[in-house]
Amino acid sequence: MTKLFNKSEYTKRRRKLRREMPKGEKLLWQHLRNNNIGFRFRRQYGIGIYTADFYCPILRLVIEVDGLSHAGDEAQKCDVRRDSYMRSLGLTIKRYTCGQVWNELDSVKQDIVTTCEQLARVRGSGVPPPTPSF
């Protein structure tokens, strides 16, 4: 069986992406790391040839923070292909813009918590933890 997650040939690229995270990703990571919302997330996680900004393996949840580089037509087509591929693996994808992360951080966090709790119930990964206080 072919390895799909964190392929070794993309390790250097993932490390570079972790070192050079955009500010919006850094801000959201501060709230996702260390089980801050009750679920463990990994950053710059390899899925096939793609790298997810954040990934929760137990829930199979991908979170993407889109900056200006995602605004063009070609970039949006790439995002559609990427999302299709990830969905074909049974993953759930949530996308937020950098503007949403910066200007509506509490709403973004609450949306992520709600999504995590729903996926935990659906996927049977136990009783969801209490909603964290932000």
Percent of the chain surpassing pLDDT 70: 73
Sign of the four-CA dihedral 87, 101, 41, 12? positive
Q: What is the pLDDT of residue 18?
A: 56
Q: What is the pLDDT of residue 70?
A: 53
Distance of CA 67 to the CA centre of its chain: 14
Residue 102: which H helix or E strand, with range?
helix 98-103
Cα-flanking dihedrals φ and ψ of residue 120, to 5°?
-60, -40
Q: What is the pLDDT of residue 105?
A: 96
Determine the topology of domain 8-123 in CATH. Answer: Endonuclease; Chain A (3.40.960)
DSSP 90: T
Instruction: Tell me the pairing of strands 50-56 and 42-47.
Output: antiparallel
Split at pLDDT 50, 70, 90, the class of 104 is very high
Kindly list the domain boundaries of the chain, sorted by start residue: 8-123
Q: Do residues 57 and 87 lie in contact, with contact meaning Cβ atoms separated by under 8 Å?
A: no
Span 23-69, pLDDT tens digits:
889 999 999 999 889 999 999 899 988 999 999 999 999 999 987 56
Distance CA 68, CA 47 (A): 22
